[in-house]
Amino acid sequence: MRVVFISNYLNHHQLPLAQAFCDLPGVDYTFVATTPFNSSRAAMGYEDVNSKYGFVHRAYESPMHEYLAHSLVNEADIVIVGSAPDNYMIDRLNMGKVTFHASERYFKRGLNIRNFPRNFASSMKHIRPFQNKPLYYLCSSAYTAYDVNLFANYSNRCFKWAYFLDQCQCSLNDLNQKRNNDTPILLWAGRFVDLKHPDVAIRLSEKLKRHGCKFRMNIIGGGGIESQLKSMVNDLQIDDVVNFLGFFPPEKVRSTMETSDVFLFTSDFNEGWGAVLSEAMSSACAVVSSHAPGSAPFLIRNGENGFIYRNGEEDQLFEIVEMLLNNKQKRVNIGNEAYNDMQNLWNADIAAKRLINLYDAIINNESTSLFKSGPCSPAEIINNQWY
């Protein structure tokens, strides 16, 4: 079986899935990269892996390479289209070949009157033209199914998907021993940009301190609004509990998560997926997330393997975090459940096997409701107000 994943460039979020397909017996896997590696990502500590692996075909290197990329897509059994131009799948769909589109949500800016013309035009160009073709959505956001069905009809053709990360190599027991902290550690990690709302973590810290909570807040990241955030910490007089750690490479972010008790994910609806949530859950952190980023409704079973607060409701966030700070066993139980879900359900090996099973069901006209949860289970249609 020939499997092709086509996207802009290979990155560490896609590598585990690529390796999972390569490890499957009888699978010939190719990743088609349509653009060179983004140099701005290198400045953040990410590695250019387009030229590192033999399964990568670099379509951008010449017109012949691009022609061969189209041939690979048209001839493969399973094709997953990520961040790639629509023209890579048009010929294949016109031939009636099953194609999967791995996509975050389309309408991150909302569906109000001001955005309606742009959203409608985008749907008419990228979504609706293929609704009568054998195109299936692998939803890398809990809100993708809603968006693609807003102006088109992909009924029963939307399935849960993710950015699948390397599994944690530490045992649960080792992780729990690592984070045996006298003072609970809260962690926030990401770029300092408005959509990620690091200011929420700072205001939370001030309120927790004012209420006498014992904690330490570590913040990983930089850029954008960094000076404003540091001024905010000084103005609120919480520099004794808030520590700015700077930018870390991905592996150091993970190791820091493994020694932190609670991870805060404060992004809004402009966060398509949010891989840091997957990383924190894999590290057995007790996660507390806004309902807005695309990963939260898929990965978090509220109150069981993490907590969700309504985006913008900072009082609700405070109540959840205060409870966790005062209840170590609850933190441990939540983190353990998160770790088990990421190890046993939301991982690349399971996703690769399930996608092949889903493809077989589609081409054999069988039921596609093969799985109740996790990768390739049906993605229900939920909008921004779901929580």
Is residue 44 very low, low, confident or very high in pLDDT (cuts 50, 70, 90)? low
3-state SS assignment for residue 290: strand
DSSP 82-140: -SS-THHHHHHHHTT--EEEEE--S-TT--STTTHHHHHHHHHHHTGGGTTTTEEEEES
CATH number of the domain at 119, please: 3.40.50
Same domain, 245 and 325: yes
CATH number of the domain at 216, please: 3.40.50.2000
206: number of Cβ within 10 Å = 18
Predicted pLDDT of residue 189: 98
Residue 103 domain-assigned?
yes
List the domain range (segments joined by +) for residue 221: 172-344
Same domain, 217 and 299: yes
Structure tokens at 201: 């973590």
Residue 381 domain-assigned?
no
Element (H, E) at 353: helix 348-363
Residue 217 domain-assigned?
yes
Mean pLDDT on 59-82: 97
Same domain, 246 and 132: no
Structure tokens at 8: 């802009």
Same domain, 178 and 156: no
Contact 376/136 with Cβ under 8 angstroms? no
Is residue 322 very low, low, confident or very high in pLDDT (cuts 50, 70, 90)? very high
Longest dimension (CA), the chain: 66
pLDDT above 90: percentage of residues in the chain: 84
Distance of alpha carbon 288 from the chain centroid: 15
With a CB cutoff of 8 Å and minimum separation 6, the contacts of 194 are 224, 225
Residue 373 domain-assigned?
no
Same domain, 281 and 332: yes
Distance of alpha carbon 286 from the chain centroid: 17
Same domain, 143 and 41: yes
Task: Tell me how far apart the alpha carbons of residues 276 and 196 are, in angstroms, rounded to a whole number.
Answer: 11
More confidently predicted of 179 and 341 = 341
Alpha helices in 192-283 (DSSP H): 198-210, 226-235, 250-257, 275-282
Same domain, 242 and 303: yes
Same domain, 194 and 246: yes
pLDDT above 70: percentage of residues in the chain: 97
Same domain, 185 and 311: yes
Same domain, 157 and 206: no
The closest of 192, 196, 166, 383 to 273, measured between CA atoms, is 196
Domain count, the chain: 2
Predicted pLDDT of residue 387: 45
Residue 378 domain-assigned?
no
Mean pLDDT on 178-194: 94
The closest of 30, 44, 29, 32 to 8, measured between CA atoms, is 32
Same domain, 216 and 69: no
